[in-house]
């Protein structure tokens, strides 16, 4: 009877329920308490950049590119949260007069029971005039083609690129390049490459601040067979009176060309007929660009290769030497005879050639000789022969008086 009274008592039921709820809350706060979690260096997204278009300005982030903030909520919720669960945004349309932009942070899931606080993040930007520019696209390569091959024409499409960006950055652009790997290539290459921007010091520029009509271009590169051919050089005109070409040298004497098989088959050498020596009286050097002498459809492996020609000019002069009898030898003589050159013999040699050579020649250098093989005992007038150095002519005048005596046994 007493037990039924307790069970039928509404006040006790309410009290029991309240105690149960309280106990659950106590347990919940112990097992899943309210806590905080900090997110550091989260990248800030920038929106409404078009707000600057109307004033032809571009921006550069000076500070506040990342944000740090704290989130409050149940531990079970916070444990599953990551930086990419939040919208971290700087709206340029809210930029202040001192170019600061508040960073707004909100969860991507609105149903999360969390609170974001300690958000003191601000992005500071600098404004700059916007500038447009047009640049030719240069095709660069890395690697080496297969042996016996060389690179021919290179083409990028588009080959002119329009860019927009901060004035200070666009003005630094010296070249726009796309680089293609040609390692071991044996046939023409078609590829797509990403544009890069360089200053005059060949330093890479920050392309993230450059707005281009495209970031990638199509590239085609010819891969051609190579062939070695000879070089000939000819002079035109005449030197000044009294001068002659002493030496003509040129380098290289062979060059390497590249082309299709049918084009290479048509050429075995190139000839340079433009060494003009008209009126010269001194040494002269010439330089000729090889590409100017190549036939159609043939290219150089070194597009800038030159033929260097060195012309040595010598003055032509004459000089007369008198041969002493002691300087003249006999050839073809027999041991049974004694050969003597008379004191009255007058033999002279007129030498003609380059002055710097003629001036150094002595009589003994000419190896003067009399051939007596056809003579017997008696007195004879004999011719004297000499041997002149290269590029020197020698004319002997006069004859030697030769006495041939038989030696008594």
- Per DSSP, what are the bridge partners of residue 105? 88
Between CA 17 and CA 337 the distance in angstroms is: 160
More confident residue, 11 or 70: 70
pLDDT at 326: 87
β 122-142/175-181 pair status: parallel
pLDDT at 141 over 90: yes
Tokens representing 80 are: 């599953």
Q: How confident is the model at residue 11 (pLDDT cuts 50, 70, 90)?
A: low
Please answer whether residues 78 and 32 qualify as being in contact, where contact means their C-beta atoms are separated by less than 8 angstroms: no
pLDDT at 9 over 70: no
Q: What is the mean pLDDT of residues 313-339?
A: 92
Tokens representing 369 are: 């000789």
pLDDT at 22: 62
Angle at 364 between CA 361 and CA 370, to 5 degrees: 125
Between CA 299 and CA 291 the distance in angstroms is: 7
pLDDT at 13: 58
Please report which helix (H) or strand (E) contains residue 80, including its range. Answer: none
Please answer whether residues 182 and 146 qualify as being in contact, where contact means their C-beta atoms are separated by less than 8 angstroms: no
Between CA 51 and CA 99 the distance in angstroms is: 13
Chain centroid to CA 282: 37
pLDDT at 14: 61
pLDDT at 28 over 60: no
DSSP one-letter code for 136:
E
Prior bond to 255 cis, omega within 30?
A: no
pLDDT at 267: 94
Between CA 372 and CA 365 the distance in angstroms is: 21
pLDDT tens digits for 193-224? 999 999 999 999 999 889 999 999 999 999 99
């Amino acid at each position: 009877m007493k037990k039924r009274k307790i069970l039928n008592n509404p006040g006790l039921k309410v009290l029991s329920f309240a105690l149960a709820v309280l106990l659950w809350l106590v347990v919940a706060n112990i097992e899943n308490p309210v806590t905080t979690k900090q997110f550091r260096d989260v990248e800030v997204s920038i929106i409404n950049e078009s707000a600057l278009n109307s004033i032809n300005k571009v921006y550069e982030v000076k500070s506040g590119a990342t944000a740090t903030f704290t989130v409050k909520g149940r531990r079970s919720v916070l444990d599953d949260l990551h930086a990419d669960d939040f919208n971290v945004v700087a709206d340029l349309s809210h930029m202040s007069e001192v170019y600061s932009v508040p960073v707004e942070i909100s969860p991507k899931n609105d149903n999360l029971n969390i609170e974001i606080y300690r958000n003191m993040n601000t992005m500071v930007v600098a404004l700059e005039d916007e500038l447009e520019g047009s640049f030719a696209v240069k095709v660069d390569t890395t690697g080496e083609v297969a042996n016996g091959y060389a690179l021919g024409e290179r083409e990028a499409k588009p080959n002119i690129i329009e860019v927009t960006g901060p004035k200070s950055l666009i003005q630094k652009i010296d070249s726009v390049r796309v680089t293609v790997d040609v390692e071991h290539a044996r046939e023409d290459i078609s590829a797509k490459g990403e544009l890069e921007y360089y200053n005059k010091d060949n330093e890479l520029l920050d392309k993230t601040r450059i707005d281009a009509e495209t970031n990638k271009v199509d590239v085609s590169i010819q891969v051609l067979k190579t062939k070695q051919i000879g070089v000939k050089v000819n002079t035109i005109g005449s030197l000044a009176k009294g001068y002659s070409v002493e030496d003509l040298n040129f380098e290289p004497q062979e060059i390497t060309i590249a082309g299709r098989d049918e084009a290479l088959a048509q050429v075995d050498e190139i000839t340079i007929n433009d060494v003009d020596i008209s009126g010269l009286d001194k040494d002269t050097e010439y330089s000729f660009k090889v590409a100017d002498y190549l036939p159609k459809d043939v290219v150089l492996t070194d597009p800038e290769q030159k033929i260097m020609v060195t012309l040595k000019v010598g003055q032509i002069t004459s000089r007369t030497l008198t041969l002493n009898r002691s300087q003249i030898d006999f050839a073809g003589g027999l041991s049974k005879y004694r050969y003597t050159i008379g004191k009255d013999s007058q033999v002279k040699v007129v030498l003609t050639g380059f002055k710097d050579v003629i001036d150094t020649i002595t009589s003994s250098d000419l190896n003067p000789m009399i051939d007596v093989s056809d003579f017997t005992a008696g007195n004879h007038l004999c011719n004297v022969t000499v041997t002149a150095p290269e590029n020197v002519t020698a004319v002997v005048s006069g004859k030697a008086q030769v006495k041939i005596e038989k030696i008594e046994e």
